Amino acid sequence: MAGDKNPKWFVYGLRPVIIVGVLIFVIYGVRSYVQQSEDIAEIKSNFAFTTGEIIEYSSSGKGRRIVDYKYLVNSIEYTGKISPRYHLRCEVNDLSNCIGKKYKVIYSKRNPEKSYLLCERYGYELFGLRVPSAFE
């Protein structure tokens, strides 16, 4: 067995590690989805609006973009983060064109930390709001 490139102990020892890793990944994904669904439901039942400003706009590979934004509620500044489904108009040539852009923010009056930046059509549809002509 000295020349065996795949010793059985290695193969059988690695399998449980892979299974546990996949389970952790699946559990995290399900937990994240459930939390996001609960946040959206809370915002829908206790919503209010304010104006938010994009403070960071970045790309994280394979076309996924992350938008960090800030907004004020009762003189307290909050920050949020979303991943837009579609490209924003401000990112035509450069992601930095989006920094400083202002959009409506829908948030929960009960917990203002729960919010969503309405920077694309999808956000309005998600919350059952009339889509402004600027997003048509």
| 105 has a pLDDT exceeding 60 | yes
Q: Please tell me the predicted confidence (pLDDT) of residue 1.
A: 47
Q: Residue 48 and residue 22: Cα distance in Å, rounded?
A: 39
Main-chain phi, psi angles of 70, to 5 degrees = -125, 155
Q: Residue 112 and residue 62: Cα distance in Å, rounded?
A: 31
Main-chain phi, psi angles of 54, to 5 degrees = -70, 125
Stronger pLDDT, 77 or 96, i.e. the higher one: 77
| 11 has a pLDDT exceeding 70 | no
Q: What is the pLDDT of residues 13-71, one digit of tens each?
A: 777 788 888 888 888 888 887 888 899 999 999 999 999 999 998 877 777 788 999 99
